[in-house]
Amino acid sequence: AGLGLAAMRAEDQGDASRRRSMRIGQGLTVFIVAAIGLVIAWASLGHATVDSGPAVMTGALSLILLVVGAFLGRVAPNPLIGVRTPWNYKSRLAWDRSNRLAGRLFCLVGLAGLIAAPLAPPPYGVTALVAAVIVVAGLSIFESWRVWRADPDRQPF
């Protein structure tokens, strides 16, 4: 509801890119909650056995990362969605480049996770995904700072 209200407010102010970002965020939120709910329901109905459960969980998380990464690079500056660092709020170039990098890397991580899900030993698939998400977050934060520092149009703190 909050993202929908923010999108309507942005529409009233004539900010089309912000409205689009809020709608993308709203769609991603609904997708992620529904996907996690389906995985939990699937597991609670007894379909998650010792043999298939971890592979399905790794695949589901990988699919979520793939979808999030596909949309992350198109998000305009906003306080709710994307790589939100102080440097990104002071430079549009830093926002665009760090979110584009995060989106591409999340897509790659999701794709690699989907391919590796049936092959990875049970505890290591999800662990590898979590480690990859931490690395992607760190690289995206570093990229936002690096681009902000080199941007001639940046705003000072």
pLDDT confidence bin for 36, thresholds 50/70/90 = confident
For residue 144, give the amino acid letter: S
User: How confident is the model over 70-86, as a mean pLDDT?
Assistant: 86
User: How confident is the model over 68-73, as a mean pLDDT?
Assistant: 89
For residue 19, give the amino acid letter: R
Give the other-Cβ count within 10 Å of 95's Cβ: 24
Give the other-Cβ count within 10 Å of 81's Cβ: 21
Total domains present in the chain = 1
Q: Which domain holds residue 63?
A: 2-150
Residue 156 lies in a domain: no
Question: What is the average pLDDT score of the chain?
Answer: 84
Share of the chain above pLDDT 70, in %: 86
Residue 80 lies in a domain: yes
- Owner of token pair 């990229």: 143
CB burial string 121-132: b at 16+ within 10 A, e below:
eeeebbebbeeb
| Per-residue pLDDT reduced to its tens digit, 100-140 | 999 999 999 999 999 998 888 877 888 899 999 999 999 99
pLDDT higher at 81 or 5 = 81
